[in-house]
């Protein structure tokens, strides 16, 4: 009896393994690799600065027709991008919170589409800010989610039919804060966790159409782009009402601001790791579902973190010296 059960389990495992390897081989055979972009177009949002700006230049050099969505087409970032690129790169006015801009961008893309079509959309536009949840207003949350989450959803829904037609790629720039919940990143985490939920659902739906969906999860690249919102502790303090001033006190706000700014200053100075991952997601035959972009030292921690029980992930924070200082300082005179 035990022998028969063992035999059945063994046979099922071997069959599953054979089917898995077979499926991988078949999918590899049918996956397209687009190292030479000629004839293909790519749309990237948020190209005024940072990752989007650099990716646009790289894809232009690879021969793609690049539609570079910029918040301010007349601004210094968009103008320098146009100057440094070939005539295949087109600057579009694209505020991802505006239905009208997204509609206009689609018309412009359709009118200028090269013969092989729109191969990829890189949803990159985003903002960041930091604040404890009690220091924030609903407007702070709404603004973050409007750009980082609804901006990508709006753009995706509009452009999906074009990408689906060529079995292309959808890429989403998320963050480690999609799964790493910590002090001060509430609004940003909400927007990026929502973005990953959207991208994960889309990947499942798009698989049968041959469209691949990738999520880019950069860690701290605060020194490499314009993402860090500079603010002083006075900026935070002046927004608080008397009750919150009493709860948090000025010394703690000073400390939190100093701590946040110094953490940003320990980030990567250049974006090449992120740009390489984005290029892989757009051009490789086998793009990854997720690209975690942190230092080699941090990789193990961040890979493990999403699988730990909540009691342990919460404990990680309560053990940190900053958390302990915060606890001592709250309500202090
Ligand atoms: N740098 C990091 O450490 C890091 C880490 C994790 C994730 N990320 C993500 O990476 C993405 C790119 O950010 P980045 O680091 O390259 O920062 P960045 O230099 O500030 O680039 C973000 C771009 O998005 C644009 N943008 C802002 N609001 C927009 C809107 N409503 N519509 C269209 N574009 C808009 C910005 O335009 P303006 O310049 O005109 O404001 C800017 O060009 C973001 O989604 C960010 O959340 C960054």
Which residue is closest in CA terms to ligand 1's atom 10? Answer: 173
Q: Rounded to the nearest 10 degrees, what angle do helices 250-264 and 321-329 cross at?
A: 160
Residue 283 and residue 42 in contact, taking contact as beta carbons nearer than 8 Å: no
| Residues with active-site annotation | 188
Query: Can you tell me which atom of ligand 1 is nearest the CA of 148?
Result: 45
Return the ∠ at Cα 222 (arms to 216 and 223), rounded to 5°: 125
3-state DSSP assignment of residue 131: strand
If pLDDT is split at 50, 70 and 90, which confidence band does 140 have? very high
Query: C-alpha distances in angstroms, 65 versus 71, 90, 189?
Result: 19, 8, 33
What pLDDT is stored for residue 222 in this prediction? 94
Q: Which residue has the tokens 């702070």?
A: 140
Residue-wise pLDDT tens digits, 208-223: 999 999 999 999 999 9
Protein residue with least CA distance to atom 36, ligand 1: 46
Q: Give the per-residue pLDDT at 11.
A: 77
* 318: pLDDT strictly greater than 90: no
Taking the C-alpha atoms of residue 209 and residue 207, their distance in angstroms, rounded to an integer, is: 5
Q: Distance from the CA of 263 to the center of ligand 1, in angstroms? A: 19
**Most confident option among 18-32, 67-81, 226-240, 255-269:** 67-81
* DSSP β-bridge partners for residue 67: 43, 90
| Contact between 298 and 219 (Cβ < 8 Å) | yes
Site to probe by mutation for ligand 1, drawn from 56, 149, 225 as the one with most ligand atoms within 8 Å of Cβ, is: 225
Judged against a pLDDT cut of 70, whether residue 24 lies above it is answered with no
Q: How far is CA 112 from CA 41, 64, 101, 105, in A?
A: 9, 12, 16, 11
For the cut 60, the answer to whether the pLDDT of residue 251 exceeds it is yes
Would you place residue 15 in the very low, low, confident or very high pLDDT band (cuts 50, 70, 90)?
confident
Q: Is 73 in the pocket of ligand 1 (CB under 6 A)?
A: no
Distance 125 CA to ligand 1 centre (A): 5
Among protein residues, the one with the nearest Cα to ligand 1's atom 47 is: 126
DSSP assigned state of 185: B
| 12 pLDDT above the threshold of 80 | no
Most informative mutation of 43, 44, 46, 57 for ligand 1 (most atoms within 8 A of CB): 46
In DSSP notation, 231-255 reads --HHHHHHHS-HHHHHHH-HHHHHH
More confident residue, 255 or 9: 255
- The ligand 1 atom at the shortest distance from the C-alpha of residue 268 is 3
Q: Where are the alpha helices (DSSP H) in 166-295?
A: 186-207, 233-239, 242-248, 250-264, 272-283
If you measure from the C-alpha of residue 192 to the centroid of ligand 1, how many angstroms do you get, rounded to a whole number? 13
Residue 214 Cβ inside 6 Å of ligand 1? The answer reads no
Q: How confident is the model at residue 14 (pLDDT cuts 50, 70, 90)?
A: confident
Answer whether 81's CB lies under 8 Å from 70's CB.
yes
DSSP code of residue 33: -
**Which token pair is 36?**
């030479």
pLDDT digits (tens, 9 = 90+) for 259-283: 999 999 899 999 999 999 999 999 9
Q: Look at ligand 1, atom 17, and give the residue with the nearest C-alpha.
A: 227
What's the rounded Cα separation, in Å, for the pair 298 and 294?
A: 6
Give mean pLDDT, residues 47-51.
Answer: 98
Alpha-carbon distance 152 to 126, whole Å?
A: 9
**Torsion angle of C-alpha atoms 125, 263, 229, 243, degrees rounded to 10:** 120
Residue 8 has pLDDT above 80, yes or no: no
Ligand 1 atom at minimum distance from 222 CA: 3
Q: Report the separation in Å between the CA atom of 83 and the middle of ligand 1, taken as the mean of its atom positions.
A: 21
Q: Is the Cβ atom of 196 under 6 angstroms away from ligand 1?
A: no
Instruction: Please identify, by atom number, the ligand 1 atom nearest to the C-alpha of residue 94.
Output: 33
User: Above 60 in pLDDT, residue 122?
Assistant: yes
- Checking if the pLDDT of 6 tops 80, the result is no
**Would the pLDDT of 127 be above 80?**
yes
Measure 48 CA to ligand 1 centroid, in angstroms: 8
Sorted by where each starts, the structural domains of the chain and their CATH numbers stand as 33-229+269-308 (3.40.50.720)
| pTM across the whole model | 0.92
Q: What pLDDT does 23 receive?
A: 59
Tell whether the model's pLDDT for residue 321 goes beyond 90.
no
CA nearest ligand 1 atom 33, residue? 95
Tell me the pLDDT tens digit for each residue of 159-195.
Answer: 999 999 999 999 999 999 999 998 999 999 999 999 9
Show the beta-strand stretches assigned E in 60-129: 65-70, 89-93, 118-123
Structure confidence at residue 295 as a pLDDT band (50, 70, 90)? very high
Q: Kindly report the average pLDDT of the chain as a whole number.
A: 93
Q: What is the pLDDT of residue 22?
A: 63
> What does the alpha-carbon distance between residue 211 and residue 205 come to, in Å, rounded to a whole number?
9
């Amino acid at each position: 009896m035990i022998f028969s059960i063992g035999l059945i389990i063994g046979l099922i495992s071997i069959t599953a393994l054979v089917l898995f390897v077979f499926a991988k081989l078949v999918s590899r055979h049918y996956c397209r690799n687009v190292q030479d972009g000629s004839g293909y177009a790519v749309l990237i949002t948020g190209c005024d600065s940072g990752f989007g700006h650099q990716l646009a230049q790289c894809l232009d050099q690879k021969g793609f027709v690049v539609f570079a969505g910029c918040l301010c087409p007349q601004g210094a970032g968009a103008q320098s991008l146009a100057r440094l690129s070939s005539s295949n790169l087109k600057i579009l006015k694209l505020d991802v919170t505006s239905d009208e801009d997204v509609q206009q961008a689609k018309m412009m893309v359709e009118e200028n589409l090269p013969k092989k079509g729109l191969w990829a959309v890189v949803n990159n536009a985003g903002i960041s800010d930091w604040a404890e949840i009690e220091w924030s207003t609903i407007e702070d949350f709404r603004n973050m989610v409007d750009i980082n989450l609804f901006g990508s959803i709006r753009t995706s829904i509009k452009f999906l039919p074009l990408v689906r037609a060529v079995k292309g790629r959808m890429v989403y720039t998320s963050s480690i804060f999609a799964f790493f919940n910590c002090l001060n990143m509430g609004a940003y985490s909400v927007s990026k966790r929502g973005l990953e939920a959207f991208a994960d659902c889309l990947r499942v739906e798009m698989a049968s159409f041959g469209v691949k969906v990738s999520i880019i999860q950069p860690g701290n690249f605060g020194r490499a782009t314009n993402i860090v919102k500079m603010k002083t502790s006075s900026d935070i303090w002046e927004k608080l009402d008397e009750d919150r001033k009493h709860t948090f006190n000025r010394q703690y706000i000073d400390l939190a601001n100093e701590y946040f700014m110094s953490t940003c200053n320990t980030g990567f100075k250049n974006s090449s790791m992120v740009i390489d991952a984005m290029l892989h997601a757009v051009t490789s035959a086998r793009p990854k579902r997720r690209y975690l972009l942190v230092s080699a030292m941090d990789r193990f921690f961040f890979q493990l973190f999403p699988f730990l029980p909540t009691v342990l992930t919460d404990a990680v924070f309560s053990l940190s010296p900053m958390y302990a200082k915060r606890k001592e300082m709250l309500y202090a005179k």
